[in-house]
A and B are shown apart, each in its own frame.
Chain A
Amino acid sequence: MLVLGPLGFVAPWILSALVALPVLWLILRAMPPSPRQVRFPGTRLLLGLRDAHPVARHTPWWLLLLRVLAIAALILGFAGPVWKPAPDQGGQGPLLIVMDAGWAAAPDWAQRQDRALRALDAAGAAGQPAALLVADGQAAGALPFQPAPELAAQLRAQRPAAWETRYPADPPAVLAEAPARFSTLWLSDGLEHDHRAAWLDALAARGPVSVVPPQGPRLSLQTGTGDRPALLLRTTGATAPNVLAIGLDPQGTPRELARLKPGAAEAQAGVASHPVPIDLPSELRNRVTRYEIEGQASAGAVVLADDSLRRRKVALVGDDRASEGQRLLSPLHYLRRALAPSTDLIEGGLGDVLQAAPDVIVIADQLSLPEEPALPEWVEKGGLLIRFAGPRMAASDRLSEEPLLPVRLRAGGRDIGGALSWGDPRGIAGFAPEGLFAGLAVPRDATVRAQLLAEPAPDLAERSIAQLTDGTPLVTRAALGQGQLVLFHTTANAEWSSLALSGLFVEMLDRLVRSARVSLAEPEKDQAEQPFWLPELVLDGFGRAAPPADPVPVAAADFAQGPAPGAPAGLYRGGERMAALNAGGAMALAEWPGARIESPTEAPGLDLRGWLLAFAAALFALDALGSAWLQRRTRRRRPDRGLA
């Protein structure tokens, strides 16, 4: 490359054609414009006449200048001019290219490949050997140094992996065959990974290291924690794009079902974490197959929906025979109708349903729960227990001793709207704006005639998540271990209140069930039962899903470690269960002590070729216009026949 000041030429020998320009000028000058053709009846009178003073007709100088400029622009353009070309990397000595190849490298993979190819070209032009270390955790053995051109094909074939960038654990072993001194070009994805510091030290000891940081922020998406379903979007940039929920529409075609807005950021060491609440109706949410960050082609920006983001398993426990077969009086009837569309229901005795490991257990008006030691244990491990009051509880004189309630209850209850009371049925107060039921509309006709009252306690207000208009609690909640206890102070049927008849009942139950966490104990339990997971759908590094070409079962122990070589991100099936292995996770910014950081603006240099060629084309167009104008300026109008 020839460099003149800020301008470099890729093919400087073409510039020798500029010598021909003066010759071209003379030739163009000598070529007269073509004569105008005129139809003239008096031509016979002209025959034999000679031009007295033949005037040499030259192309006007400005047209000439235009043409010569256009040719010059063409020559300059083909010489491959680059404005402020990147200084040659390393320049002398062998070259090692380290390519981070995890999901974080996927969004700008093409630019990375270009940059690496440029470096390879430069090394090939200098006749230096080169080596390529692709940090996708699959390379093994010592790294061979080869003539640079042979590596280009290998480099082009590389694709980012659907797991984190992984460096080989032992730098000296990999560099065993390397020359004593070499320069390193490290195409980093900007994130901290295992063994990176060791590699940086090892490489810096062998020669200069220049690091190409990624272009643009890195983003990752992960299933969030908390009592409401959410995702966690991490970004190294300032803004957080939307998250798209993609799933099958009712016609069965995959499309964007919703667009989730990330919440307020929580920054830590340069990485901002945005919670993204999945605020969707259950029916819609159960259709979502994947969540992805808008505009990020990366496996780390995709969360595949599996069981944990999908339907909750809800167990209904209650005495269905209490109302002697009258369905509309059975509390379980209303619960069944409310929960069936969005959850998987199990019914049965308490002991039976606990075997099925439900996420939520709903118990309607049951007192002194059978001495089932498994129930408190289940709640403490993260279960959500929802109980409803009822006449049986109200009639009990040992109500204050009842376990597994969020608040202590006063015996007897209260009858507000009955025949023997003075008051009217109470409405339901509006919900607190930041509570679990925030935003739900309260219907006017949902009233409560009877309820169980709580013993006054300092934390009663804190535990009430819904209240009547007189301030008495309607729904109370308390944590127990990792789980929760929830009590509705009224019945699940229409006996004490009309709440069960309103749409609010369904929405409240839906919110409650969504707040249940998927039991954490399950994977461990499964490890014994389910030693292998079989991939059903795997992602590539760009986050594109495809059926696995070669499904290899993944041992449960490896599966729990997250995506890795051999276990790419994707959907895995184990028996009845589907589990997703998602690549996105925590991120930490990498530090590069002692390395030269290549600034992205200096990197490629501005290629002027296209501009010059376009300029030449514009000049030629101008030339055509000018010629046409010149013709027109001296042309008389053509003879025209006819009178009218």
Chain B
Amino acid sequence: MNTRPDQLRAGAEAASAGLPALMLSAERLAAALVPGAHGQRRAGTGEDFWQYRPATAGDTARSIDWRRSARSDGQFVRDREAQVAQSASLWVSAAAGMDYAGAPSRPAKRDRADLLALALGMALLAGGERVALAGQLPRPGRMQAERIAEALVSRAALPGDEDAPPAEALRPGQRVVLFDDFLGDPQPVLDYLAHAAGLGIGGALMQVLDPDEEGFPWEGAVLFRSGSGALRHDTRDAAGLRDAYLARLAERRALLSRAALASGWHFGTHDTGQPPSQALLWLWSVLEG
């Protein structure tokens, strides 16, 4: 990876700077998606006052609020609103195919995915959310953006074509965003979604593709090799394969979209030929909802 952390961060900041709506809606973010502590609208452990209730059997003497009780005859207990910590987990595939860029003028898919992930993370952090890459401890604060950028950049590409999100890192109360081209074996992703749905975790799948992968512009005799070179396909007439390929791509998208819908997730696509802000807006809107 030839991008330095500060470059990636600068790029991410540039991308998120183009989203005034994102920055302005930080308050809504706190209520809807990101707050570090979500009020559960019921009594429980927490910081904020919820209600006074009459003491019942089983309340210890220490739990009685004596100041409130002194104003009347009964004893009252001061309840606090229950709070559950929630966080966002980001995951970017490191499969070999993610290093692909169809033209020198376009970024590699992985670079674009890193950018999107960091921009999203920074927006969430700016809203006070705890954010981390999958498998790491979510923390709030601006410094966390630095750590995420560092981790994204320092992560080496895998030699193989497959990279699955770590299902064991799923925790209740998380929101998960997966960035991948989803061109590998779909089964691990489907399993992951099922597992997440079981834990009540919502999130979004973002498919990042190169325009070449969406348009299939080749013709003539071509020997296709996958990112790692493990898979090969030899054809004499690449142009004749275009329709079949596009059909399979659409089928793959439909499969992922169905699975996401079934587990309460969202499925979006992004083209590296397009500016990243579009995808960021979409991600924001689905995470907000």
List residues of A whose CB falls within 8 A of some B CB.
32-47, 49, 51-57, 634, 636-637, 639-644
Q: Which size class do B's interface residues fall under?
A: 35 or more
Contact assessment for A636 and B218 in the assembled complex, using a CB-CB cutoff below 8 Å: yes
**Residue from B1, B161, B237 whose CB has the most chain A CB atoms within 10 Å:** B237
Find chain B residues with CB under 8 A from A641 CB.
Answer: 2, 99, 101, 108
Cα distance A640–B111 when bound, in Å? 12
Contact assessment for A43 and B236 in the assembled complex, using a CB-CB cutoff below 8 Å: no
Cα distance A57–B223 when bound, in Å? 14
Give the 6 A-B residue pairs with the shortest CB-CB distance, closest first. Answer: A41-B97, A35-B221, A43-B226, A46-B233, A45-B248, A40-B224
Segment with Cβ contacts to A, from B118-126, B238-246, B263-271, B278-286: B238-246
Contact among B97, B221, B240, B252 for A32, CB-based, below 8 A: B221
Contact assessment for B103 and A46 in the assembled complex, using a CB-CB cutoff below 8 Å: no
Q: How far is the CB of A4 from chain B (nearest CB, A)?
A: 44
A–B Cβ pairs within 8 angstroms, 14 of them = A35-B236, A41-B210, A42-B183, A42-B245, A44-B161, A49-B235, A51-B241, A57-B221, A57-B236, A636-B212, A637-B104, A639-B100, A640-B104, A641-B101
Q: Output the nearest chain A residue to B104 by Cβ-Cβ distance.
A: A640
Q: Output the nearest chain A residue to B96 by Cβ-Cβ distance.
A: A41
Do A33 and B100 form a contact, CB below 8 Å, given A41-B213, A51-B236, A642-B3? Answer: no
Q: Output the nearest chain A residue to B186 by Cβ-Cβ distance.
A: A44
Cα distance A636–B103 when bound, in Å? 8
Find chain A residues with CB under 8 A from B111 CB.
Answer: 642-643
Cα distance A57–B234 when bound, in Å? 14
Which residues of B (172-193) have their CB < 8 Å from a CB of A? 181, 183-185
Q: B43 contacts the other chain (Cβ, under 8 Å)?
A: no
Contact assessment for B101 and A639 in the assembled complex, using a CB-CB cutoff below 8 Å: yes
Q: B273 contacts the other chain (Cβ, under 8 Å)?
A: no
Find chain A residues with CB under 8 A from B217 CB.
Answer: 636
Contact assessment for A44 and B226 in the assembled complex, using a CB-CB cutoff below 8 Å: yes
Find chain A residues with CB under 8 A from B245 CB.
Answer: 42, 45-46, 49
Tally of A-B residue pairs with Cβ under 8 A?
Answer: 143
Contact assessment for A45 and B183 in the assembled complex, using a CB-CB cutoff below 8 Å: yes
Contact assessment for A634 and B220 in the assembled complex, using a CB-CB cutoff below 8 Å: yes
Contact among A49, A634, A636, A642 for B241, CB-based, below 8 A: A49
Contact assessment for B213 and A42 in the assembled complex, using a CB-CB cutoff below 8 Å: yes
Find chain B residues with CB under 8 A from A54 CB.
Answer: 236-237
Q: B219 contacts the other chain (Cβ, under 8 Å)?
A: yes
Which residues of B (86-111) have their CB < 8 Å from a CB of A? 95-104, 107-109, 111
Find chain B residues with CB under 8 A from A53 CB.
Answer: 237, 240
Find chain B residues with CB under 8 A from A38 CB.
Answer: 218, 222-225
Contact assessment for B221 and A41 in the assembled complex, using a CB-CB cutoff below 8 Å: no
Q: Output the nearest chain A residue to B95 by Cβ-Cβ distance.
A: A41
Cα distance A633–B67 when bound, in Å? 87
Q: Digitize B192-236: 1 where CB-to-A-CB distance is under 8 Å, 0 elsewhere.
A: 000000000000000000101100111111111111010111111
Contact among B2, B102, B233 for A644, CB-based, below 8 A: B2
Q: How far is the CB of B289 from chain A (nearest CB, A)?
A: 31
Cα distance A55–B97 when bound, in Å? 29
Q: B138 contacts the other chain (Cβ, under 8 Å)?
A: no
Give 19 new A-B contacts, CB below 8 A, not counting A39-B226, A53-B237, A54-B237. A33-B221, A34-B221, A35-B222, A35-B234, A36-B223, A38-B223, A41-B161, A42-B97, A43-B224, A43-B231, A44-B183, A45-B245, A51-B241, A634-B220, A637-B103, A637-B104, A641-B99, A644-B3, A644-B7
Cα distance A261–B240 when bound, in Å? 83
Cα distance A52–B239 when bound, in Å? 10
